[in-house]
């Protein structure tokens, strides 16, 4: 390469400065995967509010064609709209949500998965104010004669991994003498009841009452008043997003928009909010 004169090098400095600025600008936009809303809330992806969930949990979140829809989806859409972004759904095993791993690995901004607020989960993630009341319910084949847990002595009951239904079934196992069979997700557990792989299954009442509408060869014969409430989860310490979620849900309840969404998915207005 030919050596340049001092005058030639000095003449190149402005151009080099512009090139460096251009490279610097490109590096910033290329390497930055996160975005911040106008209100100052940091997101894992610019222009998106990424929601972790575990599909399928109908009618809270489930696939319908190429879309993920449901009660939780509509509720979080209100938060995304308030932030001026679009909701993006990320399907992940439920235990990665409750353990907080999905947040630590920057998979999502929040989690909406029909998730009961409890002390064990509060150790790993922070929860919004409660937005839905739930209890446990018993799903059986119609005409089985199984009406409660005592009817299951010597039989098998299906549960979904890492759920409060699994906790409830295990807590009452010794007193009622049944075997607990674990399933990775809700549809597998529900199908096991219909095929006879298990004699019954226990899960939240909202999803099981919805299931029997679609499959009338099954029925819910018992509900257990466990006093559960669902919350939307965020990474521990993410108070900015948590406050926004609470603000949006409260506003929706006051305006009646929450009731409209509830009736859309459950066919009736909520008894309490």
Using an 8 Å Cβ cutoff, are 165 and 203 in contact? yes
Buried b (16+ CB within 10 A) or exposed e, 150-161: ebbeeebbbbbe
The percentage of residues in the chain with a pLDDT greater than 70, rounded to a whole number, is 86
Identify any residues that bridge with 64 across adjacent strands, giving them in sequence order.
67
Chain-centre distance for alpha carbon 40: 23
Rounded distance between C-alpha atoms, residue 74 and residue 70, angstroms: 6
- C-alpha to C-alpha distance for 15 and 17, rounded to whole angstroms: 5
With 90 as the cut, is the pLDDT of residue 55 above it?
yes
Q: 134-228, superfamily in CATH?
A: Periplasmic binding protein-like II (3.40.190.10)
The pLDDT, as a whole number, for residue 131 is: 97
Q: What element of type H or E holds 51?
A: strand 48-53
Q: What are the domain boundaries of the chain?
A: 35-131+231-266, 134-228
User: If we measure between CA atoms, which residue out of 72, 75, 132 comes closest to residue 97?
Assistant: 72
40 confidence band (pLDDT: 50, 70, 90): confident
134-228 matches 35-131+231-266 in CATH topology: yes
Classify 202 as helix, strand or coil.
strand
Q: Which residues lie across from 90 on neighbouring strands?
A: 52
* Span 3-20, pLDDT tens digits: 333 344 344 434 434 333
For residue 221 the two structure tokens come to 């014969």
What are the pLDDT digits (tens) for 200-225? 999 999 999 999 999 999 999 999 99
Instruction: Output the pLDDT for position 38.
Output: 64
**Reported CATH class of domain 35-131+231-266:** alpha beta
- For residues 77 and 51, what is the distance between their CA atoms, to the nearest angstrom? 10
Average pLDDT, the chain: 88
pLDDT band at 272 (very low <50, low <70, confident <90, very high): low
The pLDDT tens digits for 107-161 are 999 999 999 999 999 999 999 999 999 999 999 999 999 999 999 999 999 999 9
Question: What pLDDT does residue 271 have?
Answer: 81
């Amino acid at each position: 390469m030919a050596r340049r004169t001092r005058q030639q090098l000095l003449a190149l400095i402005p151009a080099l400065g512009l090139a460096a600025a251009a490279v610097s600008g490109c590096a910033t936009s290329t390497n930055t995967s996160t975005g911040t809303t106008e209100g100052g809330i940091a997101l894992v992806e610019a222009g998106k509010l990424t929601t972790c969930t575990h599909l399928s949990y109908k009618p809270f979140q489930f696939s319908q064609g190429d879309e993920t829809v449901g009660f939780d989806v509509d509720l979080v859409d209100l938060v995304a709209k308030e932030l001026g972004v679009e909701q993006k759904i990320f399907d992940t095993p439920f235990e990665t949500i409750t353990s907080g791993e999905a947040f630590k690995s920057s998979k999502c901004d929040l989690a909406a998965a029909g998730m009961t607020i409890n002390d064990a989960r509060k150790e790993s993630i922070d929860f919004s104010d409660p937005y839905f009341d739930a209890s446990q319910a018993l799903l059986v084949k119609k005409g089985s004669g199984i009406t409660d847990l005592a009817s299951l002595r010597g039989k098998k009951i299906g549960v979904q991994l890492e759920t409060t239904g699994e906790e409830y079934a295990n807590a009452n196992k010794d007193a009622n003498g049944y075997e607990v069979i674990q399933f990775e997700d809700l549809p597998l557990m529900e199908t096991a009841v219909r095929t006879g792989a298990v004699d019954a299954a226990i899960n939240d009442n909202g999803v099981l009452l919805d299931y029997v509408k679609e499959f009338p060869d099954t029925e819910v014969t018992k509900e257990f008043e466990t006093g559960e409430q669902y919350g939307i989860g965020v990474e521990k310490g993410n108070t900015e997003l948590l406050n926004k979620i609470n603000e949006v849900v409260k506003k929706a309840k006051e305006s009646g928009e929450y009731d409209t969404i509830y009736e859309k998915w459950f066919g009736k207005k909520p008894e309490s909010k």
